[in-house]
Amino acid sequence: MRNNSINNFFLQHYQFFSVNILMDRVDENEQIRLVIEKVLQGDVNSFSYLVEKYNKLVAHIVFRMIYNQTDREDICQDIFLKVYQNLPQFRGESKMSTWIGKISYNCCLNYINRKKPVVKNQSSQEWEEMPTEIPDPGWQTEQDDRFNRIRTEIEKLPVQYRAILTLYHLEGMSYHEIGEVMNLPEGTVKSYLYRARQQLKEELSHKYQIQDL
């Protein structure tokens, strides 16, 4: 069972995008196959469907792993450039989301290895909240404070832990899919997810007396 507090945190704090492309009512995998065919045949405009369909996934990974706002934008562009360049190599052996997720993760790791940035907390302005109707302002303030504390502690976790939490709780990926994205055995994914939760729980319990994660 997915952890409710962590799920709520991720679901209420992420960059999201609107999709304005209309496609024929066909199976999703068939849609993607048809789009890929069009792109490979020279219809560059069809690639915009893949960008709009998967930019949320890319943003989730990049925003969780990279701190610098300007670099985030550059990395997102670089990721989709690599997706476009490597599209002929996509064989459909895994989900398109898994394939793009792996490219995103590797691009972020390459950036981190080059820059080796100092860990710092994100300001609340760097997050865009999903609109929601909350009748009690006091409850909203309490929830915002809780989410901010969770976010602060997540940002201190090792990059692999942050990525796994994001892919599992926000993208809803299975252990197997996360393993494909991060090139890790399924057992290691489970172990890292458990350690990430435990470390997060210990820090929140020690600093803020938050127990119900």
Q: Indicate the domain borders of the chain.
A: 4-208
79: nearest Cα among 49, 122, 109, 39:
109
pLDDT at residue 211 in the model? 56
Question: Cβ contacts of residue 197 below 8 Å, gap of 6+?
Answer: 3, 6, 165, 213
* Tens digit of each residue's pLDDT (9 = 90 or more) over 9-64: 555 544 333 334 344 445 777 888 899 999 999 998 999 999 999 999 999 999 98
The reply to whether the predicted model has a pTM over 0.75 is no
* Tens digit of each residue's pLDDT (9 = 90 or more) over 77-97: 999 999 999 999 998 888 999
pLDDT at residue 116 in the model? 61
Distance CA(80)–CA(83), nearest Å, equals 5
Q: Does domain 4-208 have CATH number 1.10.1740.10?
A: yes
Given a cut of 60, whether residue 129 has pLDDT beyond it is no
Please compute the mean of the pLDDT values over residues 148-176 and round it to a whole number. 88
